[in-house]
Structure 1
Amino acid sequence: MVAAFEPPVPGQSLSETIIPDVKTTLNLFGMHLRKVSGEWDYPQHAHPQYEFNYVLEGEQLLTVNNHSYLQRAGDLVLLRPGDIHSSRSGNGGAFTYFCIHFDIDDKLFISLLSRLNHVLFTSESNVAHRLGPLLSRLVEISTSGSGSITISQRMRLQSAVFELFAQLWEVFSLEADNSSPGTYERIELAHQIRSRLQGLVYQQFKQEVPYDSHYGVDDIAAELGISPSHCYRVFRQVFGLSPRVYLSEQMLHEAKVLLDDHSLSVSQISGLLGYRDIAHFSRQFKRWSGQSPREYREGRS
């Protein structure tokens, strides 16, 4: 096999700096620039990628995991995979926003994103100040020309996004460095637990793992090499609730979304969520919400 490069002859190299290999995959999804009317109202949804949402004109009221954020021109929002969010005008008028979904396989960068507790970065913030020009550059690149995106545009988009990530890393790396190692490790572990809990919800919804399966929080703890008690303690310290309560909240949300669709019967919803029968689903739903599925649906009609 021929080597990728030939080493220098010994004694001929006077100085040398070895640069680590760069192996990073970046995927960009659903990138768009959109101007909408004051009647704009986008329903609750979630997606498996990260999202940058940047308002250029007007005001957007973004609700993320039941918390509302008023986003004005120049404000930036960072959404994480699984964040449940909806959008409408913030003042009843038209607004323009730029949106980009992405995933990246750089573990250190993903670790940084998972540790950020912020959702909204106002135009006065250091983050928006550093990232705003790059986001404007992305808008310019993505809207230049017409028709399908060219290879040149695609490469420029990826280049601009990587520069965007570099700026984000520089802004927050100092903050992360100032955190104690113990704090960092605890937050990192809690996010790993949450990610696996979200995966469990999606698996149940796809009927890959039925709800009454024995797989659960104890198995997640075992996979991470920690005791169940430590799993519960770390998760509660970071997120303020137990893993089981978090899992129940996620399942309740999925159930409510389906119950709002009146084309589906309660029996069908029970099956979609992986329950063995409608009675089991009804008991669980009432335990979570204080009312039966039918009572919840009647109250929404």
Structure 2
Amino acid sequence: MEQRSEDLFRFPNIINTLQVIGCHFGLKPPGWHFPRHHHHLFELLFCVAGEVVHEINRDTVIMHKGDWLLIKTGVRHQSSNTASTDYGFFNVHFDLDDPEIRSLLSATPYRLIRHKEAAPSKLSFYVSELEAVMHRNHTEHREAEAPPEPSLLRFEDKLLLQSYTLLIIHDVLQLFREHGTASGHRAAPDKNPSLFTADIAHMIEEKLSLGLCEEATVTGVAKEMNLSRSQCSKLFAKVYGLSPRQYVSQQKLKLAKELLVTTHLPMTDIAEKLGFHSASHFSRQFRRWTGQSPSEFKPRHPAQKDDHS
């Protein structure tokens, strides 16, 4: 009797990069102040205890225990503990090279989620799991009489750190969809882009994507659309939360990873497909992006075809 084989469900190929910087828990005394600054990554804050006052652009945002705050890349802000008790917090700076997710995260300069909205989610559970990972790492190094260096996390703990960070981002985005802008959050100066701005940004993105392998330049795209280079960059950044040049780099990195993992093409061919002048040029840029050479990133053994595919 002939057996029928078919795929019931097939997920899309996903080769995206999550960057996690400065993930930590902290405690600040009354009177603590951090001066105005900005980051090149998204910042996500959770108020564990006490309260804190943030000055974001021209808005004043007060976080209480259980509140969450997402601050967009490039937004200037400062923080102060003006209460009479300690301010405890969880903080992570992160970035993802998925354009759709970045667009959602960049919709406004900041988003505030109050405790009552976050309580039904699993956010507090994810934070407690992250705290357990960090506590275990700290305890192990203390027993070994060595300082608790974050870089010495075990491989499986690094996976947990990435996994819980992604789950936190997932739940935060889900709460944005369910509740919209939190009550008391006054619209910031550069609020949601207009439909015209979004359309122009999407056109720029399409032209950059189509010209990805031909070294499409921002100047060339701007000229084609009768825009100045600065106009092109500002419109694009309003919608996607990063510059056109950063977007091209991230898309090239994504395609490079896919070619390295799923094909057996020589480096010279991959470099040519990505618009690099030579294999050595591609290799140097890939190392800047990832800290690894293309040959180090490429799987050591060729992928074997699954018998069930």
Residue number among 98, 101, 105 corresponding to 1:109 in the alignment: 101
Gaps of 5+ in 1: 1-9, 177-182, 193-217, 240-301
Paired with 1:190 and 1:107, the residues of 2 have a C-alpha distance of 15
Give the TM-score, by structure 2 length. 0.53
Equivalent in 157, 160, 164 of residue 164 of structure 2? 160
Q: CA deviation at 1:39?
A: 2.1
Equivalent pair of 1:123/1:129 in contact (CA under 8 Å): no
> Where does structure 2 lack aligned partners over 5 or more consecutive residues?
139-147, 181-192, 203-217, 240-309
Contact 1:42-1:86 within 8 A present in 2 as well:
yes
How large is the Cα RMSD of the aligned pairs? 3.7
Partner of 2:222: 222
Q: Does 1:41 align with 2:41?
A: no
The whole-number CA distance in structure 1 between the counterparts of 2:6 and 2:220 is 52
Of 51, 54, 58, which aligns to 2:46? Answer: 54
Which of 58, 61, 64 is 1:66 aligned to?
58
Please tell me the residue identity of whatever aligns with 1:78.
L
Shift of 1:118: 4.5
| Distance of 2:70 and 2:197 partners within structure 1 | 18
Distance 1:120 1:172, change over 3 A: closer
> Deviations along 1:281-301, whole A, 9 cap, x unmatched?
xxxxxxxxxxxxxxxxxxxxx
- Of 115, 121, 127 in structure 1, the residue corresponding to residue 113 of structure 2 is 121
1:131 aligns with 2:118: no
Q: CA deviation at 1:105?
A: 0.8
Q: 1:145 aligns with which of 129, 132, 137?
A: 137
CA contact (8 A) 2:72 2:109 kept: no
Per the alignment, do residues 117 and 82 of structure 1 end up closer, same or farther by CA in structure 2, a change over 3 Å counting? closer
- Which residue type is aligned with residue 35 of structure 1? L
Q: What TM-score, normalized to structure 1?
A: 0.54
Q: Aligned to 2:116, what secondary structure does the other structure show?
A: coil
Which of 21, 29, 32 aligns to 2:24? It is 32
Take 1:25 and 1:99, find their aligned partners in 2: how far apart are those partners?
20
Contact 2:23–2:91 (CA under 8 A) maintained in structure 1 = yes
Residues 1:220 and 1:93: Cα distance change in structure 2 (over 3 Å): farther
Name the CA distance, whole Å, in 2 between partners of 1:149 and 1:225: 48
Matched pairs, number: 195
Q: CA deviation at 1:121?
A: 1.5
1:21 paired to 2:1: no
Task: From 168, 173, 180, give the equivalent of 1:169.
Answer: 173
Q: Structure 1 vs Structure 2: percent identity of aligned residues? A: 20
Shift of 1:92: 3.6
Q: What is the CA–CA distance in structure 2 between the aligned matches of 1:92 and 1:220, rounded to whole Å?
A: 56
Higher deviation after alignment, 13-22 or 105-114:
13-22
Residues 167-203 of structure 1: CA distance to partner in whole angstroms, max 9, x if unpaired? Answer: 2333345689xxxxxx8854646888xxxxxxxxxxx
Using the alignment, how far apart are the partners of 1:223 and 1:88 within structure 2?
Answer: 45
1:89/1:153 CA distance change after superposition, 3 Å: same
- The 5-angstrom pairing of residues 274-293 of structure 1 reads none
One-letter amino acid of the structure 2 residue matched with residue 24 of structure 1: N
CA distance in 2, matches of 1:131, 1:65: 27
Task: Summarize deviations over 1:105-159 as a string: whole Å, max 9, x none.
Answer: 1111111111246532111124884533323332332233322322221111111
3-state SS, counterpart of residue 115 of structure 1: coil
**Paired letter, 1:225:** M
Of the two structures, which has the highest relative contact order with CA contacts closer than 8 Å and spacing of 6 or more? 2
Measured in 1, the distance between the counterparts of 2:174 and 2:224 equals 30
Maintained 8 Å contact 2:75/2:109? no
Distance 1:224 1:90 in 2: 52
| 1:82 is the counterpart of 2:74 | yes
Aligned partner of 1:96 in structure 2 is 88
1:19 partner amino acid: F
